[in-house]
Amino acid sequence: MITTSQNKQVKRILKLKKSARERRKEQLFLVEGIRMFEEIPADRLYKVYATEEFQKAHQEMFSKMEPELVSPQVMKEISDTMTPQGVLALVKMKEFQMEQLAEENALLLVLENLQDPGNLGTILRTGEGAGVTGIIMSRDTVDIYNPKVIRSTMGSIFRVPFVYADNMEQVMEFLKKNQITAYAAHLDGTNYTKEDYRKSSAFFIGNEGNGLSDGLTRAADRKIKIPMSGNVESLNAAMAAGLLMYEARRQREEGGD
């Protein structure tokens, strides 16, 4: 049993928890908690850590891999939550190419410079529920393998394809090549319910504080907005993305207007 934070494995986990660069270098990320652990595809599970108490109470969970036992204090140190459930895993990353997102009747999200981990995780989870076929992110978007993002996805990280784009010109070329209509969420746009999303579509969502850049807004085929009452100027990025995605789903299920 590992009982000290000076252990090499513990030091490695702490680096992976704190550093996006370290995660990219090792191609590993952290998953913790019972529900998330059960979602991990067997071929991507790299190593499991658990407290002795947790192992005894959940022996059936460890058919995929025998856990490395750690003390409750060590589990608290390597965990990213205030009250760890007692299980943490290292998981292999899976990379997608942008062309893999070019399926028939694609429904994509293009995220520019999103910075809030909770927002990104919620968008991924909501996207799966709405039937999104892929997510494209600008390089300056928060790391999708950040532990807070992973928790917020509630397992969708394993099922929704995503890519980071080196630049937005590359994204626009991809969309045009595959005849995917680009919709920019913008205050000067038309009511989002008046557009037709039954064919391949991509919704552009911008930074929480500044919205979409002018360049990406100009590059879009159409500008759309979510009408609001009162003095509210904009919605939370995850909420806005959710409304757009579910409108697209409604149209596709009901055949349009």
Q: Are 55 and 62 in contact (CB under 8 A)?
A: yes
Q: Are 163 and 190 in contact (CB under 8 A)?
A: no
Residue 255 has pLDDT above 80, yes or no: no
**Mean pLDDT value across residues 56-77:** 93
**Mean pLDDT value across residues 151-163:** 95
Whether this prediction's pTM lies above 0.85 is answered by: yes
Identify whether residues 80 and 118 lie together within a single domain: no
- The domain boundary, picked from 30, 65, 92, lies at 92
Q: Give me the residue label for tokens 């599970």.
A: 45
Supply the pLDDT for residue 65. Answer: 86
Residue 257 has pLDDT above 80, yes or no: no
Range of the domain at 154: 98-254
Residue 256 has pLDDT above 70, yes or no: no
CA distances from 234 to 143, 145, 222 (A): 24, 27, 18
- The domain boundary, picked from 59, 92, 125, lies at 92
Residue 185 has pLDDT above 90, yes or no: no
Identify whether residues 126 and 108 lie together within a single domain: yes
**Mean pLDDT value across residues 132-147:** 96
Q: Are 10 and 78 in contact (CB under 8 A)?
A: yes
Supply the pLDDT for residue 102. Answer: 92
- The domain boundary, picked from 92, 116, 134, lies at 92
CA distances from 254 to 27, 133, 196, 198, 225 (A): 41, 19, 12, 10, 22
CATH number at residue 122: 3.40.1280.10
Residue 123 falls within a domain, yes or no?
Answer: yes
Identify whether residues 150 and 28 lie together within a single domain: no
What percent of the chain lies above the pLDDT cut of 70? 98
Residue 2 falls within a domain, yes or no?
Answer: no
- For the ranges 87-96, 218-227, 247-256, the lowest mean pLDDT is seen at 247-256
Identify whether residues 64 and 142 lie together within a single domain: no
H-only helix segments in the chain: 8-18, 20-26, 34-39, 52-57, 72-78, 117-130, 147-153, 168-177, 214-219, 237-254
Q: Average per-residue pLDDT in the chain?
A: 94
